[in-house]
Each structure stands twice: as structure tokens, then as C-alpha cells.
Amino acid sequence: MKNRVITISREFGSGGRTIGKRVAAELGLSCYDNELLQKIAEESGFQENYIKEAGEYAPGGFLSNAFSHRGANLNNADYLWRIQYKVISELAEKGPCVIVGRCADYILRDKADCLQIFIHADIKFRAERIVKEYGEREESPEQRLRDKDKRRAAYHRFYTDMKWGHAQNYDITLNSGTLGLDKCVEIILSLY
Amino acid sequence: MKNRVITISREFGSGGRTIGKRVAAELGLSCYDNELLQKIAEESGFQENYIKEAGEYAPGGFLSNAFSHRGANLNNADYLWRIQYKVISELAEKGPCVIVGRCADYILRDKADCLQIFIHADIKFRAERIVKEYGEREESPEQRLRDKDKRRAAYHRFYTDMKWGHAQNYDITLNSGTLGLDKCVEIILSLY
């Protein structure tokens, strides 16, 4: 019997991470998000901050090609992808859980009984949220969102051949801006 | 105060029409699907069957260019689009309702308080469903599905500039194959 895993892909600022944490808390499951970064850091020897950035650059980008992984014939992005693949597969084997981001939906498609979720919202809702959550930056919130979305989509496409945000790749997609975070949590709980 | 309208876009064979009818029945609302064809037929003077077909061909296709609409400087597809636009706008003005297909989500985006839904399912689930619902044809069910999906997507893109099946265009998208039709109905009812 495969473990039941909730995978949450999300647009930056849509509240997908918050939704994942709340769902996990309600169900008494572990939620892997930053914990995932820590595990990948431990296994890879890279700093968490580096992984956070590199994990959103498709190979060919600046960071991934800055230097190659020692010894192995892999660039850093591919090396990290392998570690990520291994870490996520092992987590899903350990038991039911919630995993946010990091292409877990794709990695676990044959390894776990996944409930695949995508959370999105319009740019206005997300812009307000990221300023509230992460503070102001030099770049406008809209520019930060466009940049992040573009990177996540490219990364996802490169490693999974799936189109990020295409309804057909998920069991359910939810607009957290129009439905509200509470309602998103409620619907996901009703599906588990 | 704008009327609350549920718009359902759907992949052929996904059960979107059945879901729409059940949601409407539960809420005591009218559901416009074939009724929409009748109204467009009355207004346009075309046969329902013709509208059903032409309504899924983007201009440039065979049917739309077979002849031009009498007098007006429009091909048939564009002429039908105008009638469809008018009929759907009028229905939404009359009161809350459920509208299945025909780009109602796009047409009503500024005219009604819409709950925008997209229903999809994998090809195996839909192939079994269309054979059960509509019987066998000369073409394989998979071929019929691919053909219908392609036409609906092209039609939608031509008239709306929105990408059909992109999560970002909807409040919620549901995989009727993995979630089941009952669950889809239940979730939509909980959102209204």
C-alpha cells in the first residue's frame, strides 16, 4: 500500500505554503518545506540559501553553471536535482505527509498515492501578500512575482516535462485569492 | 449587485455537463447547455447541429468559411460568436444560473459575479465515459477526444485570448476522474 502524500505546487505569494502547513497540522502530518531544504543541504553539502536559489534555476542559468560539482560529471543544478529526488522519495516512503514545492508531484507520481494540488492567485493578491510576509525590496513586488513565476515554470518544465499550472497535471487547482485560504484548507481536508 | 453565475468549462467526456446539471438542480438554478444551443439557434436562424459543430471551430476552419453570413461582413463563426455573446449576457442578467461551455467564463467576466470552474480527467476515464454515454463510433474514443480537445482549445484561444485549461483562468479546476463526479458536485456546492 502506497503512502498518501499531499503535494502542493504554488505560485509565489499565493499562500500555498501556509495552506500546506495548516492542512498538515489539521491532519497531524509532517509538512516538508524548509525541512526539505535542510535535508537537501545535509545530503549535498551546499548551503540552504544556495539550494533555495539554485532550486529555482533551470540548468543553463547563471548559478547552475557557475562551477561543476566536484568529481561527478554533473552541474550543480543536476546534482541537486538528484539529491532532491532521493530525499523526497525517502520522505514519501516513511509515511503520509504534505510536501510543498520542489516538483514532489512529479517525483512521487509512481511512488506514492498523491493528492496533487496547485495553488495560485492573481498578481494583485500575491503582491500584497509578499510585501506583508517578506517586506519591501528594491524591485517592485510585481517584478519579483513575474521573475519567480518564470523561474519556477522553467525549472519545472526542464526536470518534469510537465507544464506548471496546467489544470490537467493536478487533481485540483485552487485560486486562493478568490476562494480565500480558509476555504482552500477546508477543501483539501475534505479530499484527504 | 451582479448575479452569481457558475460557469463550467470542461474537457469532452469529463462529466462537466453532468456536474453542472446536478449542481444547478441542487441549488434550484437553471442550467444552460443544450438550452443555450436552442436560444442561439432561434436568434441566428441556424440549425442546432450546425451551431454545435461550428461553435467548436475557430475561424479559418472548414465550416466557418464554407459561406459568409448574408449581408453582414462576417463569416459564420464570427456571426455565431456575436449571437452567443448576446444570448449568454442576457441569461446572466436574468438571474443566477449555471452555464456549461461556450466561453461563458470569458463573456461574463465583467458582467456577472462568476464562479469559474474547469473540469478535466485523463484520457482513459473520458474514453470509457464517452463510449458509455454516446456509443461507439468509427473513430476510436481516444481519437475523438484528442480531436474535440484540440478544437475546443483553439476556439477558446481565438475568441478569448485565454488559455483553455490553464489553472490561472479559473477559481477552481477539478479532476473528475480522480476525485469522482459526486465529490466535484459537493465541492462546487460548498463554494456557491
Q: By mean pLDDT, which of A6-20, A106-120, B54-68 is the weakest?
A: B54-68
pLDDT class for B16, splitting at 50, 70, 90? very high
Q: What is the pLDDT of residue A37?
A: 83
Q: How far is CA B106 from CA B43, B48, B112, in A?
A: 21, 22, 11
Q: What is the pLDDT of residue B60?
A: 56
Q: Which three cell numbers stand for residue B88?
A: 449568454
pLDDT at A52 over 80: no
The pLDDT of B89-99, averaged and rounded, is: 94
Sorted by sequence, the CB contacts under 8 Å of residue B97 that are 6+ apart come out as B3, B5, B6, B24, B29, B30, B31, B32, B91
Q: What is the pLDDT of residue A191?
A: 93
Q: Find the CB nearest B165 among A167, A171, A178.
A: A167
The pLDDT of B109-121, averaged and rounded, is: 93
Pairing of strands B30-32, B172-175: unpaired
For testing the chain B interface, which of A5, A175, A182, A192 should be mutated: the one with the most B CBs within 10 Å? Answer: A175
Q: Does A153 touch chain B (CB under 8 A)?
A: no
For chain A, the first-to-last Cα distance in angstroms comes to 16
CATH of the domain at B36: 3.40.50.300
Q: Find the CB nearest A166 among B166, B172, B187.
A: B166
* Helices of type H across chain A: 16-27, 34-44, 48-54, 62-65, 76-94, 104-107, 123-134, 141-160, 176-179, 181-191
For chain B, the first-to-last Cα distance in angstroms comes to 16
- Please choose, from the candidates A116, A117, A119, the residue with its C-alpha nearest in 3D space to the C-alpha of residue A178: A119
> Which residue has better confidence, A44 or B189?
B189
Sorted by sequence, the CB contacts under 8 Å of residue B142 that are 6+ apart come out as B123, B127
pLDDT class for B59, splitting at 50, 70, 90? low
> Which residue has better confidence, A62 or B172?
B172
pLDDT at A73 over 70: no
The nearest alpha carbon in chain B to A11 belongs to B168
The pLDDT of B70-75, averaged and rounded, is: 59
- Please choose, from the candidates A124, A129, A120, the residue with its C-alpha nearest in 3D space to the C-alpha of residue A170: A120
pLDDT at A53 over 80: no
User: pTM here?
Assistant: 0.89
Contact B26, B32 (CB under 8 A): no
Contact B157, B165 (CB under 8 A): no
CA B79, distance to chain mean position in Å, is 18
Q: Do A170 and B165 touch (CB under 8 A)?
A: no
> Which residue has better confidence, A137 or A16?
A16
The nearest alpha carbon in chain A to B177 belongs to A171
Q: Does A73 touch chain B (CB under 8 A)?
A: no
Closest chain B C-alpha to A136 CA, distance in angstroms: 25
How many domains does chain B fold into?
Answer: 1
Q: Which three cell numbers stand for residue A23?
A: 492542512
CA distance A64 to A57: 7
> Could you tell me the residue range of the domain that residue A184 belongs to?
4-191
Sorted by sequence, the CB contacts under 8 Å of residue A186 that are 6+ apart come out as B190
Sorted by sequence, the CB contacts under 8 Å of residue A87 that are 6+ apart come out as A36, A39, A40, A43
For testing the chain A interface, which of B109, B146, B173 should be mutated: the one with the most A CBs within 10 Å? Answer: B173
The pLDDT of B97-125, averaged and rounded, is: 93
